[in-house]
Structure 1
Amino acid sequence: MFKKKSLFGVVILLSLGLTAKSQVKIGFEVSFTEPQAHYAEVEMNISGINKDYVDVKMPVWAPGSYLVREFSKNVEGFKASAAGKPVKFEKVRKNIWRIYGAKANQLKINYRVYAFEVSVRTSFVDASHAFLSSTGIFMYPEGHLKSPSTVKVVPYQGWSKVSTGLEPVAGQQFTYTAKDFDILFDSPIEVGNQDVFEFMASGVKHEVAMYGGGNYDKERLKVDMAKIVEQGTAIYGENPNKHYTFIVHNYERGGGGLEHLNSTVLGASRNQYNNERGYNGFLDLVAHEYYHLWNVKRLRPVALGPFDYDNEVYTTNLWIAEGFTAYYENKLTLRAGFNDQNAFVNKLAGAVAAVENTPGAKVQSAAMASYDAWIKQYRPDENSSNNSISYYSKGEVIGLLMDLAIANATKGAKSLDDVMKAMYLQGKTQGRGYTDAEFKAMVEKVSGISFTSFWDKYVTGTEPVDYKTYFAYAGVTVKDDNEGKSTPYLGVASRKTEGRMFITAVSRNSAAWTSGLNVNDELLSINGVPIEAAIERMPELTSKKVGDVVNIKVGRDGKVVDFAVTLKANPSIRLVAKIDENATPAQKAVLKRWTGI
């Protein structure tokens, strides 16, 4: 009897708690009074939080971009009121404002956000449009990340369109709803007069919002982007969205992308759509970011959600999250018909060479590159290539090797596609992300072989890639065009600044490294000949042999310093891949399963 009464009381208390939480209402209105000065005006209304004070917080980073960006630095003019009267507030942390509302049922908060950084992950406002990257625009009440909110956008005069992945509120123009702040923070918003077109693919309506103009062909893009969508959906067997939005920013020179749950933001060059290289580069970007719809946004490392927006979130698995996505953009564009098999294998051979030619690949593992993303990937310096490797680049190569190993072990019956689909479905069932051990276990389950040695070599280790063995599984021969050559090599990168040549990088263990040449040294002469262009291409260097000594004069800290440099051989590899026409039936089976062609 006592237990039953206690249980009844608990149910009553829980019901009251849920009712109280459901009464919390959070709404935003974003407007633009001075877009030419790069400001967005934000009004935030909160009701139902009956406390002595309310802390409102702004994220310090944006999911998908692993760098603390301190978005609160752009906030100004913060003020709060209740019942039309100002209330006291104070800033208690770099990104937290404490509002003393005396248990007011309704609070109104106003602030401005300065937005003038062009990138796919930061907000930008000017007289022509507004791009709102939500983590840098909206605040949330502490303890209410799971609360729903609404956003009303008031376009500036002359602006007529809003593009976003958020759900529209019926009957209210430019008003949207998010079931929680994870959804709101994952939903960028484009406001202006963007060129909007739509296409259907895999049963999902896709909207493309083009800002900045360009020489793109909408009808061609509708067809080709749909092909990419369908190839991605074919791998996973389902497309989890009801609608999807591409926000494309076209600049004179643009690039990059950032994934979101049912949208993406892409940077592109407006006049590159009508040449093959530029157009295929854009499709590569579309494929990469769209593949993230599954890999990262749903199939994700366990650390990547729910998010802590105050602090760094660490994982050793970005080589899967981003590296595999870089790998799969190649598979999607191949299967969509934008490349052939020869182009596919050579592009991947080039990816292997890029990793092997990076000195940092011998220093930092893929797992550690993932973990150190917060301090290395987005904060490169002159020595980065010597002490680190991109988890994008190394992860792409690991994906290639793993794919070929699985196809070979299963005699062409399985591939990495099967691992990715199984992990996606497992994540749906478990309702959480995966651990490194769980991902490895699935690879071993699908392939039927141990991957412990593979992990030790390529994931947590820094061993050179045995690319010839892996490519051979699919009947692909790979040749190093630099093999047997002995090309003299100094090992510096340089840049001309105001007519003077300065060293910008020195490669580990190169002749320059050993001799003591430094970044920021001004290159004055080589063997008495003034240096007015890239030293690596000067006859005074290219005419020499490995082992020859050259005299290089540099300016350093206002002094002239002479160096006798003994030239070493260029260690770089240049890989060329070819599909063997005389491949065995077993190799052909691997090739077919690997490429999907």
Structure 2
Amino acid sequence: MTAKSQVKVGFEVSFIEPQAHYVEMEMNISGLTKDYVDVKMPVWAPGSYLIREFEKSVEDFTATANGKPAKFEKVRKNAWRVYANKAKNVKIKYRVYAFEVSVRTSFIDDRHAFLSSTGIFMYPDGMLNLPSTVKVIPYKGWTQVSTGLEPVAGQAFTYKAADFDILFDSPIEVGNQDIFDFEASGVKHTVAMFGGGNYDKERLKVDMAKLVEQGTAIYGENPNKHYTFIVHNFQRGGGGLEHLNSTVLGASRNAYNTPEGYLGFMNLVAHEYYHLWNVKRMRPIALGPFDYDNENYTTNLWVSEGFTSYYENKLVLRAGFIDQQGFASALATAVANVANTPGAKVQSAAESSYDAWIKGYRPNENSNNTGVSYYSKGEVVGLLMDIEISNATNGKKSLDDVMKAMYLQGKKLNRGYTDAEFKAMVEKISGKSFTDFWAKYVTGTHPLEYDKYFGYAGIKIKNENEGKQIPYIGVASKKTEGKIYISAVSRNSSAWVDGLNVNDEVVSVNGIPVEAALERMPVISGSKVGDVITVKVKRDGEERDFKVTLKANPNIKLIAEIDPNATAAQVAVRKGWMGV
């Protein structure tokens, strides 16, 4: 067999019918003198833990060997076997349909093409280490290509990847996007804006640079030569997906000029940029080298994603977009959100991480009762751990020191970390055992001791609902075609105990027609805990009356206040924790 080092792979990407959401792919493999070659498409995208079956969008697969038609067959859901008969040149053509708007899936129309590489490019089986080139031929009238891939000198819109992991980690935007650059931490950053919007480029250059510099300050180095932000501006947009030297962000095009909208965008930028270190380089051992055919299980997404959610708060604080009070308030809300999730009493942070593949991206009407997001639980675990470390070291150390040490350790060992190694580093930096902490908050479902931890840092926490007897039925509802339907029922609530179901059409409460959200009805909000109400529903076309005994609202509403009379020790802990 020909040595793999002599094998070359090149792609040509073009568009004939972008208005119908298609990209035309040509894959050229040279130097591989085998009887056959299997080419595969990944079934998932790193950073988004769900088998998405990208191969379902492939059409018109054809192959030639030395210029002559070659026999091929599908040998697996995501693999095609091409019988090359030892031909030195194999050309494969196929089309991909792309019409799903998200940061992790490809989308093409008459205005632009967003190519999420795992759902576009195939690779020769067993040869993920091969380099490749990608030539993009923009559709007529399109003039720009934005990607983190390295350009090939002297060749327009042609790029190279050292291996397929890098190619699969490099999304590509093609069209007429608005492009601007800024320099930060010695790195050129390019921002490619699609979809218009009321953003101020000069303001974004300054403020995005602040976040870059705050992230770099934690780790002491910025590992990129260049970095690309691909931003899709929609009427209502959100979400992001991290890549090695780029990210894709979803934003609302007309929200940049409101304080809430702008801060939301800064939080998103901070989150995805922080991933540059956490997960893209400092990663759980299961997340690389990737198996693109199957699930890649880890119990550590509470660190990879949850801590990143936590650190977006620290970056926007240190960059000056919020003050200490705003920081404390945001985290108090995060704590309350987890505490108010019934599933947080059922599923641990480690379990949530492992089950991302079957639960995290497939929520149903009962998800809130059976699980908790590794994003939200991880954010709170990061908060508690950070304060615990600062308290144990009198403000001299923080979670920042753990993250930097783990990043440098991974760089030295050239591999990911285990859960035990992460715990060991926390204990090394803090000088104390975290076995009890792990049992409570990582592998267990212990109630959050937020009073204790915020207290270490001189922050008073008040539950505004404490001592109040607020009547609560425990349902979420939605309006469809003028009718009100129950969309969720909270575990152990009045509705749960007394038999109301998701998909029940709510007709009336105590004879009063229901026209909007149930919880806001005066007949409920004006009642007392213990009162019995009659809820008439239509279930499967039949009307039924349910007697529902109202319980007290179990949810907490936390207000954080920085204590002006905090001790010197508390102030030291707070300063070490916040880093400002």
Q: 2:281 maps to which residue? A: 298
Displacement of 1:523 after TM fit?
A: 0.2
Aligned counterpart for 2:435 among listed residues 430, 440, 452:
452
Partner of residue 488, structure 1: 471
Q: Is the 8 A contact 2:507 2:514 kept in 1?
A: yes
Relative to the length of structure 1, the TM-score reads 0.97
Q: Residue 151 in 1 paired to residue 124 in 2?
A: no
1:54-106 deviation per Cα after TM superposition (whole angstroms, max 9, x unaligned): 00000000000000000000000000002221110000111000000111111
Distance between the aligned counterparts of 1:565 and 1:276, measured in 2?
Answer: 42
1:403 aligns with 2:403: no
1:347 deviation in Å? 0.3
Q: Counterpart amino acid of 2:459?
A: V
Shift of 1:212: 0.4
SS at 1:555 equivalent: strand
Equivalence for 2:376 = 393
Provide the C-alpha distance between the structure 2 equivalents of 1:182 and 1:241, rounded to a whole number of angstroms.
16
Unaligned runs of 5+ in 2: none
CA shift, 1:20, in A, is: 1.9
Q: State the alpha-carbon separation in 2 of the partners of residues 571 and 388 from structure 1.
A: 18
Instruction: Say if 2:66 and 2:88, in contact at 8 Å, map to a contact too.
Output: no
Distance 2:485 2:565 in 1: 51
1:115 maps onto 2:98 in alignment: yes
After TM superposition, the runs of 4+ consecutive aligned structure 1 residues lying more than 6 A away are none
Given that 2:193 and 2:232 are in contact with CA atoms closer than 8 Å, whether structure 1 keeps it comes out as yes
Q: Distance in 2 between matches of 1:168 and 1:497?
A: 50
Pairing partner for 2:53 from 53, 57, 70:
70
- CA offsets, 1:385-422, max 9 Å, x none? 00000000000000000000000000111000000000
Find the counterpart in structure 2 of residue 508 from structure 1: 491
SS in 2 for 1:158: coil
Alignment match, 1:287: 270
Q: What does residue 361 of structure 1 align with?
A: 344
Distance 1:534 1:443 in 2: 46
Q: 1:419 — aligned with what?
A: 402
Q: Secondary structure at the match of 2:412?
A: helix
Deviation at 1:300, TM superposition (A): 0.4
Q: 1:47 aligns with which of 30, 39, 44?
A: 30
Alignment partner of 1:92 is 2:75:
yes
- Looking at structure 2, the residues matched to 405 and 493 of structure 1 have their Cα atoms a distance apart, in angstroms, of 36
What code does the residue aligned with 1:215 have? N
Indicate the SS of the match to 1:536: helix
SS at match of 2:193: strand
Q: How far is 1:49 from its partner?
A: 1.4
Q: What is residue 12 of structure 1 aligned with on the other side? A: none
For residues 159-194 of structure 1, the C-alpha deviation after alignment (integer angstroms, 9 at most, x for no partner) is: 001000000000000000000000000000000000
Q: Tell me the secondary structure at the aligned position of residue 337 of structure 2.
A: helix
What is the alpha-carbon distance in structure 2 between the residues aligned to residue 416 and residue 163 of structure 1? 35
Q: Secondary structure at the match of 1:273?
A: coil
Residue 200 (1) aligns with residue 183 (2): yes
Question: What amino acid is aligned across from residue 136 of structure 2 in structure 1?
Answer: V
Match of 1:316 in 2: 299
Q: CA deviation at 1:48?
A: 1.4
Tell me the secondary structure at the aligned position of residue 54 of structure 1: strand
Deviations 1:280-335, CA, capped at 9 Å, x for gaps: 10000000000000000000000000000000000000000000000000000000
Query: SS at 2:49's partner residue?
Result: coil
User: What residue in structure 2 maps to residue 266 of structure 1?
Assistant: 249
Match 1:217 to one of 197, 200, 212: 200
RMSD over aligned Cα, in angstroms?
0.7
Q: Partner of 1:197: helix, strand, or coil? A: strand
Q: Distance in 2 between matches of 1:578 and 1:539?
A: 33
C-alpha separation between the residues in 1 aligned to 2:504 and 2:32?
Answer: 60
Q: Does 2:160 match 1:177?
A: yes
Query: Which one of 108, 113, 125 corresponds to residue 108 of structure 2?
Result: 125
Paired residues in the alignment total 580
Cα drift, residue 482 of structure 1: 0.4
Q: Secondary structure at 1:206's aligned position in 2?
A: strand
Q: Given residue 345 of structure 1, which amino acid in structure 2 is its aligned partner? A: A
Q: Who is 1:6 aligned against?
A: none
Could you give the per-residue CA deviations for residues 233-282 of structure 1, whole angstroms, max 9, x where no partner exists?
00000000000000000000000000000000000000000110000100
Matched, 1:56 2:20: no
Write the letter of the residue equivalent to 1:71: F
1:10-39 Cα deviation digits (max 9, x unpaired): xxxxxxx9x822110000000000000000
Match of 1:28 in 2: 11
Matched, 1:538 2:521: yes
Matched to 1:562, the amino acid is D
1-structure distance, mates of 2:539, 2:186: 63
Any idea what SS the aligned residue of 2:10 has?
strand
Aligned partners of 1:462, 1:49: CA distance in 2, in Å?
54
Structure 2 CA distance for aligned equivalents of residues 95 and 460 of structure 1: 35
Mapped partners of 1:543, 1:156: distance in 2: 62
Kindly provide the amino acid, as one letter, of the partner of residue 355 in structure 1. Answer: V
SS of structure 2 residue aligned to 1:287: helix
Deviation sequence 1:338-386 (CA, Å, 0-9, x none): 0000000010000000000000000000000000000111000000000
Secondary structure of 2:190 counterpart: strand
Shift of 1:426: 0.2
CA deviation string 1:214-235 (max 9, x = no partner)? 0000000000000000000000
User: How far has the Cα of 1:533 moved from its partner?
Assistant: 1.1
Contact kept, 8 Å, 2:506 with 2:536, in 1: the verdict is: yes
Return the alpha-carbon distance in structure 2 between the equivalents of residues 241 and 307 of structure 1. 21
Distance in 1 (alpha carbons) for counterparts of 2:541 and 2:116: 45
Residue of structure 2 equivalent to 1:442 = 425
Which range moves more in the overlay, 149-158 or 81-90? 81-90
2:330 aligns with: 347
Q: SS of the residue aligned with 2:62? A: strand
Cα-to-partner distance string for 1:548-574 (whole Å, 9 max, x where unaligned)? 000011001111111111000000000
Q: Extract unaligned runs of 5+ from structure 1.
A: 1-16
Q: TM-score, normalised by structure 2?
A: 1.00
| Aligned equivalent of 1:10 | none
Q: For 1:477, which of 432, 455, 460 is the aligned residue?
A: 460
1:529 correspondence with 2:512? yes
Match of 2:447 among 437, 442, 464: 464
SS of residue in 2 equivalent to 1:563: strand
Matched to 1:480, the amino acid is: N
**Match of residue 63 from structure 2:** 80
Question: Separation in 2 of the partners of 1:195 and 1:122?
Answer: 21
CA shift, 1:425, in A, is 0.3
Q: Secondary structure at the match of 2:100?
A: strand
Secondary structure of the structure 2 residue equivalent to 1:246: strand
Counterpart residue type for residue 165 of structure 2: D
Q: What's the secondary structure of 1:471's corresponding residue?
A: helix
Q: Which amino acid aligns with 1:274?
A: N
SS of aligned partner of 1:117: coil
Name the residue aligned to 1:234: 217
Q: What CA distance in whole angstroms lies between the structure 2 residues aligned with 1:511 and 1:148?
A: 60
Cα-to-partner distance string for 1:432-484 (whole Å, 9 max, x where unaligned): 00000000000000000000000000000001000000001110010000001
Secondary structure (helix, strand or coil) at the match of 2:139 reads coil
1:565 aligns with 2:548: yes
Task: State the distance in 1 between where 2:257 and 2:547 align.
Answer: 50
Please state whether the residue corresponding to 1:150 is helix, strand or coil: strand
